[in-house]
């Protein structure tokens, strides 16, 4: 005869297991969230991490070599202090006080132009403005027809508007939504691959069938909700275009008016050569202190290196 399990004991065991499962789930969630932040950090700070690791390697080597130990230790200090710590200090100051450090005029102009070009690639303001204008035109002239559900396009139907033709197209995930989408990248029938690798878009052509643009929303990862009305979807696309344009204008003003376009990779070359050139000049009092402390530290590092090795070359 099987022994009966004490109900109270069974309850405790189940409660304990549930507690362990909850802890494991929380740990996995925290690791996942931390992984996202670490990945973003690594992706944006590859150069800094490389230099930091290089400095640590030189420190480790310095502890292993008596003869060249001071040299490697000095190089490690130079890398970490001059190429890792102070560029980040200057960058922090620039983000808080954009005019606190003055750069050579041609440098500022060049970096600003590059930043604006990158901003245009990210936001494509011309395309967003054109889409917004087009959507307003569609909404103004075709109110009733836009009440059609998205399912209308399921059988390759074409919605004929006053000046435009609308039909559903398919785009592979390889074509990112930030890229300019042209007609060659659009398929009118789903390709024979997993649905997770394609997404729905609405293709807009003029009355002659010439491709004009495509309408999409980044929140639609794969397929547009078939039950949604076309007018609602177009409203969402219009809101998205407006939000992106607002973000673009805010970022453009920060770059053009406030010179907020510096990051670690951009400022590093100028910090590296700041000891020998006038590419960077401190303007604010805080910047004056930072530059002074920076140069004093580097002076002592170089002086220690020279005194150590000159003493070996020219012994008393």
Token pair of 64 as six digits: 């292993």
User: Which band of pLDDT confidence, cut at 50, 70 and 90, is reported for residue 316?
Assistant: low
Dihedral of the CA atoms 230, 233, 238, 240 (nearest 10)?
A: -170
Answer yes or no: is pLDDT of 35 > 50: no
User: Which band of pLDDT confidence, cut at 50, 70 and 90, is reported for residue 92?
Assistant: very high
Full-model pTM: 0.65
Answer yes or no: is pLDDT of 150 > 70: yes
Token pair of 49 as six digits: 């991490």
The pLDDT value given to residue 181: 45
* CB-neighbour burial class of residue 94 (10 A; exposed 0-12, middle 13-18, buried 19+): buried
pLDDT digits (tens, 9 = 90+) for 181-210: 444 445 455 545 454 455 677 788 888 888
Share of the chain above pLDDT 90, in %: 16
Candidate from 5-19, 35-49, 158-172, 280-294 with smallest mean pLDDT:
5-19
At 82, phi and psi to the nearest 5?
-80, -35
The pLDDT value given to residue 89: 93
Residue 154: C-alpha distances to residues 58, 149, 220, 237, 292 (Å): 63, 10, 17, 20, 69
Answer yes or no: is pLDDT of 86 > 80: yes
């Amino acid at each position: 005869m099987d022994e009966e399990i004490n109900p109270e004991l069974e309850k405790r065991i189940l409660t304990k297991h549930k507690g362990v499962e909850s802890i494991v789930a929380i740990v996995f969630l925290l690791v996942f969230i931390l992984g996202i932040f670490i990945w973003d950090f690594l992706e944006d700070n590859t150069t800094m991490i490389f230099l930091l690791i290089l400095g640590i390697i030189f420190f480790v080597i310095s502890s292993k070599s008596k003869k060249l130990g001071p040299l490697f230790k000095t190089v490690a200090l130079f890398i970490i202090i001059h190429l890792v710590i102070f560029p980040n200090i200057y960058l922090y100051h620039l983000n808080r006080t954009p005019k606190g450090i003055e750069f050579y005029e041609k440098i500022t102009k060049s970096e600003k132009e590059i930043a604006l070009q990158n901003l245009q690639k990210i936001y494509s303001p011309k395309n967003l403005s054109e889409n917004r204008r087009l959507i307003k035109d569609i909404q103004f002239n075709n109110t009733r027809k836009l009440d059609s559900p998205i399912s209308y396009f399921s059988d390759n139907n074409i919605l004929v508007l006053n000046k435009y033709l609308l039909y559903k197209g398919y785009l592979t995930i390889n074509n990112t939504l930030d890229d300019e989408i042209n007609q060659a990248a659009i398929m009118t029938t789903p390709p024979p691959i997993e649905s997770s690798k394609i997404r729905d878009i609405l293709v807009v052509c003029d009355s002659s069938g010439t491709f004009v643009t495509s309408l999409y929303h980044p929140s639609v990862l794969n397929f547009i909700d078939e039950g949604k009305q076309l007018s609602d979807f177009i409203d969402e696309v219009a809101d998205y275009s407006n939000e992106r344009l607002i973000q673009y204008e805010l970022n453009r003003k920060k770059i053009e008016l406030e010179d907020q376009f510096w990051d670690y990779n951009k400022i590093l070359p100028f910090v590296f050569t700041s000891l020998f050139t006038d590419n960077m000049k401190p303007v604010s009092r805080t910047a004056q202190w930072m530059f002074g402390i920076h140069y004093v530290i580097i002076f002592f590092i170089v002086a220690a290196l020279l005194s150590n090795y000159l003493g070996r070359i020219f012994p008393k």
